[in-house]
Amino acid sequence: MCHNRISLLTGLIFLFLVTGNIHAARYVTVATIGNVPSIESGQPPEKMVEQVIAFWKNELNQVLPDKPDLILLPEFCDLSGAGEEYLNARGDKVLDYFASVAREHGCYLVFGTKRKSKEGIWRNSCILIDRNGKIAGIYDKNFPTIGEMEEGTKASDEAPVFKCDFGTVGIAICFDLNFDELRLKYAALKPDIILFSSMYHGGFVQSLWAYSCRSFFVGSVYRSTPSEILNPLGERIASNTNYFDYAVAKINLDYEIVHLDYNWEKLRQLKNKYGEGVNIHDPGKLGVVLVTSLDEKISVQEMIDEFGLERVDDYFQRARKFRLNDGNLR
């Protein structure tokens, strides 16, 4: 064990010395599954728990061959809306199964569930399990529906951003998507990825969240609507279909969003120097581009610093300040 740790540390030091930045070209494979168990009622709750686990074993086997770093599952994916008798029988059995998958395959796994906190409060939550099968974080829904709250589910006011070994993630659940209070918290924190576990899709609001938070957005939604992966410009890069209920994408977290104003010539110079080592993607209409380092030896941060590129948020802040100069605001 000690030898393995020394070898890993030596490898990381070597990588840093060679590249100068271990965060350049940060590739992460993410998977989302848009399905939930359909179990006949009237069965013994213990049997229902067995069927839920069997269902997810089959579903997860569809994405595990792609060796995902992160798997997202829908809200209440463990059938936790089935009632108290089922919840008592379920206990931690489904959680333990998901933990075993994460541990065996070395991935993060996030799933939606109804749980009772240590304080005895019912929560609609997403549980983040790390690569070792341990709970790395729990997000509690900030905005349950009125119906949920009438049935005893309590709202949270916390929006933690969780640190994973590949970057940071924020989480939202279903009805949360409608509330700017939560979105603006994440817009200030700018997690690398926002995970959306839900019973409904939310339409274009998903793209609004992705762009305003400058984050990749991964949605896992019940089977009737798409479960999609969006880039930080709000564009769809992967989706499940009517034939396959899952989607997998390899994304690069070494990116920045840059406004075109005052950056045209600098972007040309950047592309001329780094060629295929940098991707400058224009979505059209927005006046911004997504700049991504494809070079393992240099990060997008270093590229931006080298050419003096102005990030979109820095440009907007400069415009706000300029507006307040003498004579500009009347």
16, pLDDT greater than 80: no
Distance (Å, whole) CA 227 – CA 33: 7
62, pLDDT greater than 80: yes
Q: What is the predicted pLDDT for the residue at 40? A: 80
159, pLDDT greater than 80: yes
186 close to 162: Cβ distance less than 8 angstroms: no
Distance (Å, whole) CA 205 – CA 225: 14
22, pLDDT greater than 50: no
What is the average pLDDT across 228-247?
Answer: 97
Q: Taking Cα atoms as reference points, which of 308, 303, 305, 306 lies closest to residue 292? A: 303
17, pLDDT greater than 70: no
What is the average pLDDT across 15-30?
Answer: 62
Q: What is the predicted pLDDT for the residue at 249? A: 98
Stretch among 28-42, 190-204, 209-223, 304-318 having the lowest mean pLDDT: 28-42
Q: What is the predicted pLDDT for the residue at 23? A: 52
Q: What is the predicted pLDDT for the residue at 224? A: 80
What is the average pLDDT across 35-59?
Answer: 92
Q: What is the predicted pLDDT for the residue at 80? A: 73
Distance (Å, whole) CA 231 – CA 192: 10
Q: Which domains does the chain have, with CATH numbers?
A: 21-252 (3.60.110.10), 255-323 (no CATH)
